[in-house]
Amino acid sequence: MFVWKRLLLLLPLLVCGCAQGFDRGALQERLNDGTLQSPDSAIAEARGLRPQLRFPCRIAVYFKPPQDHNWHWTTEDKAALDGCAAALKKDGIAADVFPLPELVINKSDSKLDLKDLRLAAAKCGADALFVVYGAAQTDSYKNFAMVFDLTVVGGFIVPASHRDSLFLIEGVLFDVDNGYIYTGVQAESEGKIIRPTFLIDDKDAVAKAKTKAVTQFGEELLKRMRVLATMPQVQYPVGRKSDVPPIKPASNLIPVLSGPAPRAPINAGGVMTGITAPEPVP
């Protein structure tokens, strides 16, 4: 009987897990959900696209909502890229960098089409559209201290559980008018936490990894944009070509006054004195 009790105590040690690593292939599939995929028939059309971006340009930024429920884009994430935007303005690469307003985005479909985003950016007067994607994966396991979880109280005190998260972030810069891809930026980072089993949460590990990834992403974005700005600019004769539907101008909001047109003043005797005589009384 004593032997069986000892085996029961050792059972948690035998079943405790270890780090299994990350499945980067599955994470890439989650990052690229097929929104930007094109059929083979569109390859020739894509090869016909030409860069037409001139600097300084106006850049609209769109953070694609995640598919996962254990993270979201926070105000701090977006503010972390403000330093990069300020540097782009200082270098004369960007005239303005602004978030794409949700109000002008058509969300009638479950999957937002890239052309809808380009149209929304065109309405805002942007020359380029920068779309940011993110995906996370978490590996969970326990250490030998998990034996204290059997005491219940130990599950709230003893750090026996681990969460290792990998966060990938990717950004693509599109031409608003023809969809030409100017550059892509990628960054990744890991976040690891160890806490009591009954208090640990995947979101904390993901947030830690995401914060570091966003910082690296901003630095890499600044490097790519500076390289892009040093490339020879394309000279196009007629103007920017666009496959985005034209935006209809707003109707005239200034009321037109009705009634007879005002009569021109009568010059006094035809003499060029600059003085006008009053109208004769009928």
Is residue 33 one of the residues assigned to a domain?
no
pLDDT for the residue 113: 82
Is residue 144 one of the residues assigned to a domain?
yes
Top mean pLDDT of 27-36, 167-176, 246-255, 259-268 is at: 167-176
Q: Is the dihedral of CA 84, 86, 92, 96 positive or negative?
A: positive
Is residue 187 one of the residues assigned to a domain?
yes
pLDDT in tens, 115-150: 999 999 999 999 999 999 999 999 999 999 999 989
Is residue 269 one of the residues assigned to a domain?
no
pLDDT in tens, 189-227: 999 999 999 999 999 999 999 999 999 999 999 999 999
Mark residue 235 as left, alpha or beta (left: phi above 0; alpha: psi -120 to 50; beta: remaining). beta
Is residue 67 one of the residues assigned to a domain?
yes
Instruction: List, in order, residues 6 or more apart from 21 with CB less than 8 Å away.
Output: 139
- For residue 22, give its domain range: 2-28+48-230
Is residue 9 one of the residues assigned to a domain?
yes
Is residue 86 one of the residues assigned to a domain?
yes
Task: Report the chain's C-alpha Rg in angstroms.
Answer: 31
Count structural domains, the chain: 1
Q: How many CB atoms lie within 10 A of CB 117?
A: 22
pLDDT for the residue 3: 40
Is residue 24 one of the residues assigned to a domain?
yes
- Is the pLDDT confidence value at 276 over 70? no
Q: Which residues pair with 205 in a beta bridge?
A: none
Percent of the chain with pLDDT over 90: 50
- Is the pLDDT confidence value at 175 over 90? yes
Dump the DSSP string for 116-133: HHHHHHHHTT-SEEEEEE
The pair of structure tokens assigned to 261 is 């047109």
Q: What CATH number corresponds to the domain at position 103?
A: 3.30.160
Comparing 67 with 44, the larger pLDDT belongs to: 67
Comparing 6 with 49, the larger pLDDT belongs to: 49
Comparing 23 with 271, the larger pLDDT belongs to: 23
Q: Which residues pair with 192 in a beta bridge?
A: 164
Instruction: List, in order, residues 6 or more apart from 148 with CB less than 8 Å away.
Output: 154, 155, 157, 158, 160
pLDDT for the residue 103: 86
Dump the DSSP string for 153-182: THHHHS--EEEEEEEEEEEEEEETTT--EE
